[in-house]
Amino acid sequence: MRNRTARHRRTRLLAVAGLVAMALPAAAATAADDPPAAANTAEGETFDRFIVSWDKGAPEQRSDRAAERSADRTARRQGHEMRFERRMGGQATVLRSERAMDRAEADDLVAALERRGDVSTAELDLLLQPTATPNDTRYDEQWHYQDTTAGLRLPSAWDEVDGTGTTVAVIDTGITAHPDLDANVTGGYDFISDAGMARDGDGRDADPSDEGDWYSAWECGSPGSADSSWHGTHVAGTVAASSTGSIAAL
């Protein structure tokens, strides 16, 4: 008679290449291949706010007036005027130019600010919005990727990273044939040495197929029974279903 502990040791290794689970939707879902919003500026868009972080110990880190004077001095060399707007966490300052400028002008001013010896970082103050959208028609049913309380809150991550080129090892119950995964699996391994526990008739081998973790009544010390969870396939689909990239099993 198998016990629950033994049954739960039925794991296999499936390494999934292509995408990172924290930044991906579930099986058959994908994020649109859009660049990050920060780099995707609309034609005719103008900019007038900048975030400047000052070196530790610099007077601009402590004095709003000093920050304004220093930034304005640099901006005037570029044909602009700068005014102090507000402080941020970590003593960074938000400064506003008197005149809105196009992206090229704004980038030139950022570069000029960064060349200052007392500036740690300088960047445009941009409003970032998530734009990537999964193409899974049943995405709305997959609450665990969206829910802000118990879910992973992934939508905001897809604009920043899609995990391309990453290899992910999934140690789970194995994998089953599935149209979202079949073309991407390149191998795998069964680490279960007990042929009975593995349910495949032999011990360890290079076949990561999931034979099912079902159990009959009283088989695990309980009058109840259970169907197979196919959990490994679920996790593999979460990491890298075919519409999001490729899966490679080691």
Looking at the fold, whether 86 and 2 belong to one and the same domain comes out as: no
Looking at the fold, whether 151 and 233 belong to one and the same domain comes out as: yes
Q: How far apart are CA 178 and CA 245, in angstroms?
A: 15
Number of domains in the chain: 2
Looking at the fold, whether 132 and 207 belong to one and the same domain comes out as: yes
Query: Rounded to 5 degrees, what are φ and ψ at 243?
Result: -75, -10
Looking at the fold, whether 108 and 154 belong to one and the same domain comes out as: no
Q: Does position 25 have pLDDT exceeding 50, yes or no? A: no
Contact criterion met (CB below 8 Å) for 55 and 120: yes
End position of a domain, from candidates 71, 90, 124: 124
pLDDT score recorded for residue 43: 64
End position of a domain, from candidates 124, 147, 177: 124
Q: 153: domain range?
A: 1-36+128-250
pLDDT score recorded for residue 80: 93
Q: Which residues contact 222 (CB under 8 A, 6 or more apart)?
A: none
Q: How far apart are CA 33 and CA 49, in angstroms?
A: 28
| Average pLDDT of span 188-193 | 85
**77-125 tens-digit pLDDT:** 989 999 999 998 777 999 999 999 999 999 999 999 999 999 999 999 9
| Average pLDDT of span 41-50 | 80
pLDDT score recorded for residue 26: 34
Contact criterion met (CB below 8 Å) for 239 and 21: yes
Residue written as token pair 């640099």: 74
Q: How far apart are CA 233 and CA 244, in angstroms?
A: 15
Looking at the fold, whether 137 and 29 belong to one and the same domain comes out as: yes
pTM to 2 decimal places: 0.45
Looking at the fold, whether 80 and 177 belong to one and the same domain comes out as: no
Torsion of the alpha carbons at 40, 46, 51 and 52, rounded to the nearest 10: 110
Looking at the fold, whether 95 and 21 belong to one and the same domain comes out as: no
Q: How far apart are CA 212 and CA 219, in angstroms?
A: 14
Locate 182 and state its tokens: 């079949």
Looking at the fold, whether 64 and 27 belong to one and the same domain comes out as: no
Q: Is 188 left (phi over 0), alpha (psi -120 to 50) or beta?
A: left
End position of a domain, from candidates 93, 124, 155: 124
User: What CATH code is carried by the domain that includes residue 50?
Assistant: 3.30.70
Q: Does position 218 have pLDDT exceeding 50, yes or no? A: yes
pLDDT score recorded for residue 4: 36
Residue 39's pLDDT band (cuts 50, 70, 90): very low
Q: Which carries the bigger pLDDT value, residue 212 or residue 148?
A: 212
